[in-house]
Structure 1
Amino acid sequence: MKVKETIWRVVGITGVSALLLSMISFIDKREVGYRVDDIEVDIENTYENFFIDEEDVMSLILENKGDTVLGDAYGRVSLKEIERRVESHSFVKDAQVFRDLNGHLVVKATQNKPIARIIADNGKQAYLGEEGDILPVSSKYTARVLVLSGGYMDGLTARESIEGNEYDQKLYDLIEYISEDKFWNMQIAQLVVGQNGKVVMIPQVGDQKLEFGYAENFKSKFKRLEIFFKEIMPTKGWNTYSRVNVEYKDQLICD
């Protein structure tokens, strides 16, 4: 009796194993048999940036001479490789590639968000991205963001990112502070950063130069600038003063 049970158990295990192998073989063959008949490109424009379009993504997917993808069997298409190619674009923050229920190849790309435009004295231009990367300008689109200029920008445009540079990070924190504050984001148009790192702000309205000093002690300096914008300017007029200095501790100098 025990011998029969053992035999049937072995037969059962063997049968299940054979069935699983058959299913795996069928799936493999079916996967190879299906072909890519369409590629759908979805570019996320959360920030209304259009630095990359469908044509750019398609050229990245087919970047190697002889690549077809369309018409290729799914089993021979590397989704990870396509993701890598799309993410190689400076303005692509993230890419996901998958097959939808219709069998189409779907490429979803999320764009980098520029937070400032860099205009260096040496003529070079670039964008500073939200991840701290130095991004190239684009012929497709110009972002309406804070402008950075001055002698310090010559060095910044020569780097790939702000990572590892302590003062670059301080400038980034200052830009982020302005961008995220509703009032200052509306007031400040440009930061002129000298070779020594000192910042002069140019307002959206008026001819004043706002001498901020080094990118530090933000809250204290902006409190004093707020006094100028909300209390002094309304009573004295927009063009009474050409220079406002908050560089030094607890001082607000207007002349």
Structure 2
Amino acid sequence: MSKHAGGLYIEARIRADLDDLWARTQDPAQHQRWDLRFGEIEYLPREEGAPQSFRYATRVLPGLTVAGTGVSAGERERPDGTRTSALRFGSPHPLSPLAEGSGYWRYVPDGDGVRFLTGYDYRPRWGAFGAHADRWLFRPLMGWATAWSFDRLRLWLEHGITPERARLNWLTELTARALVIFLSCTGLGLGSFVRLFGPLAPAVAYLCPLLLAVAISVALFKAPLPHTPAARRCLRVPAVRVRAPRLLRTLENPR
């Protein structure tokens, strides 16, 4: 996958032990806790030495969950000290926006941490309509969800903030920002607020439009709090040209 390919690329630098990062990403029970894209991940029985088959389920809309299958393989010990895992996946569900895809994770030790990165791509369903929907809606959403999930994983490893707590932090901050915008746009309670300033009320009322504009700008553009997961903290374009690992070519599409 090249730097300018149409696939998705996400990279996060995580200050954590390589073995801990590997465990949180390769164990299905832990993986499904931090990855927003998957509601369930289950390994299927396999023969010795064969790639690992798995079943996954993801919620595409409230009340609508689609399932699929995949196959994965990993290289835990590589000569250059990095690790790699690759997978192919697909869903036969007619309401799944993607038909099949493939991707990889790379674990690159970097000083006191690890560069954890992914590259993946997929074929959307529903013909021309699906292609347009993917370009303008689903693909940007998938990129955001992957980056947000990577930062949630980072918070778990670096600060011990569980994925469940990180989600609560995000929802709380999102609600607070939405409330500020709502109150600023509607002016609800503004009169009572201005009267609190007594003799200075006329001056405060004069400045209110500017103060409301500042409040809305802060709510919209202020960086998320340190313990709130944020997609913006992840790199979305590789610094140098990258290619999918050879391991990916050894995997067949799931049936």
- TM bucket normalised to smaller: under 0.3
TM-score between both structures, scaled by the size of structure 1:
0.20
- Larger Rg, first or second structure (1 or 2): 1
Q: Which has the higher contact order (CA 8 A, sep 6+)?
A: 2
Q: TM-score, normalised by structure 2?
A: 0.20
Higher normalized helix content (fraction of residues): 2
